[in-house]
Structure 1
Amino acid sequence: MNRVRYRLVAVAVLPFLLALAVDLLLFAALRDRLPTRLATHFDGGGTADGYADRGSYVTVNIGLAVGLAAVWAVIAATADLAVRGARWVVGAGYAAAGLTGYVMAAALYANLDAADGSEVRLPLWQLAAGLAVAALAAGAGALLLRPLDLPSVVPPPGPGTVERLDLAEGEVAGWARRAPSRTLCAVGVALLVVGGVLTYVYGWGRAAAPLACGLLILGCSCPYVTVDRHGLTARPTVLPWPRVRIPLADVDRAVSREVKALPEYGGWGYRVRPGRSGLILRSGEAIVVRRTGGREFAVTVADSATAAALLNTLAERAAVR
């Protein structure tokens, strides 16, 4: 990595380490006034409904900060520098660090001098205060990014080369490929692990959301992309829906092109941007279809050159019939 990249990673990680340091210093300073059993989770009314000992509080705090710092470090280390979106993502990291750091500190102060964790309350206004701290932290992150020499304009994507696949008259052809996303697979597995831990500790109630999200993400983590007489179709491998299809009549041209997830589409997954949309699971090779209305649709998949050439040929055949 060059110097700018190292500085970007350092700036992205900094807020989580600062928030962790503040929370740990507060914990050390207030330790003698804290109950043995800390209230660590609160319902919508601010009443404590989850508890942990002091050691668990420290462990969770460190794990949360280090985990979030690692996520933002990877994003900063792999993002294209010629991108406005990188600034927004790093700013979001500062907001996340400010919110989580404030909530952890507020929970400590709520437990001060409490004989029993069941007496502790965390009023809803504390969440509003945490959001205000998050906004201030995001502003601080924006200021720290200003000295970095990051290009502010995303270079326009290259047009790509329009190729065609030679098919004999009456010859039928199709193309199919899976497009797995390691990132989505990892996120899905992580959510299932979290759900399993929550099931063991708290029961099914609190584990339902991460388990459902994990299964849904895993189900959509390996799209099945086809090009045939129906056009271009992308759908989850194990599910019939959601499905995206561009019929041959709607294909103006198709090209194989390198795309960059963050600078061009603002992230990963099904993305919608001005003038284009796409199923973007990584940066790299993609089939990009220019539709008859002028919008583009992209799918990141290997062997996209063959898919684009075949789609152009099939679309031309359909147009002359």
Structure 2
Amino acid sequence: MNDSEPVVPTATKQRPRRGGPWAAAAFAAGVLALLVALPLAARDRLPDPVATHWSGSRPDGSMSLTAAALFPALLWLGLVALAVAVRRFRGRQAPGAPGAILASGGVLLSGAQASIVHANLDRARWQDAASMDAWVILIVLATGAAGLLTWLATRTPVTGAAPTGPRGPVMTLPAGERLIWLSRTSNVWMQLAAAVLGLGAAGTALAGATGLTSGHWSLTAMLAILALTVLACSSVQARVTAKGLDVGFGPFGWPRRHWSPTDIGAARAERRTAAQAGGWGYRVNGLGTTLMLRGGDCLVVEGPQGHRFAVSVDDAERGAALLNSLAERAKATTA
């Protein structure tokens, strides 16, 4: 085989994304709660009925406060059902579609509900509601961004099968053949925690934006930072190619760490527990740096200076064998 021929995968062992449905369920429940709670929490400061439709800058339609709380909730349940149906019947052809539907729909309806509460807040009549012009622009931009980012994060299908082949500490690398090893792992509980923290950040942000509360932006920022941090440590993708090892964090594979073959002193598979690593997530202790998402086999890489990095992924032995072979070949080339 020459270098112009297709890439040959050495291994593509991947754990199923079990955390995705649970995180989606938590997100769906959180959005439903926000849609109902926002107008009800402000009912003492809202007219009844409330303005719910605008023509230009002037309100021209209204609903009772109860209907304004329940109607978007029913729309949301319909979108959730649509996402479930797409995942059930079109999941393999469009793996990113269900998440994009939920993300964009949740942002759209939550933003619309928050804008309605804000426009009607402290008004004597629904006809006196404020303009929605600026809110509409922000909601449209946020909806598009949420849908696109979620689609990019979930568009890659994941399979659970692994090809058969030799296993060992070192692999034979035929001349001119390009080899790839890829493994993904996620932690369902960390994904759920990220979803809960993100919903908390969204809830406090919407409450502040509507005028229901004030002075809570520091709490919103803290919850958002925590949600992003936990999300980044809740899943990992390890990829070995001729260029070395790349470890991507989170649903977007970013941030990313890279080791070239010359940076690798040795690689091995090693069984570790969360207690040995010091807990779940990104940990640093006497064993070195570990991204611990589940107990069991970890791919451990040692640098020339003795620093160790470990990541809990499936098929770690095969990945270590390929890394050792690449490192030996790189040393032979530079010798």
Q: Same fold by TM-score, threshold 0.5 exceeded?
A: no
Higher relative contact order (CA 8 A, sep 6+): 2
User: What is the TM-score of this pair, normalised by structure 1?
Assistant: 0.45
User: What is the TM-score of this pair, normalised by structure 2?
Assistant: 0.43
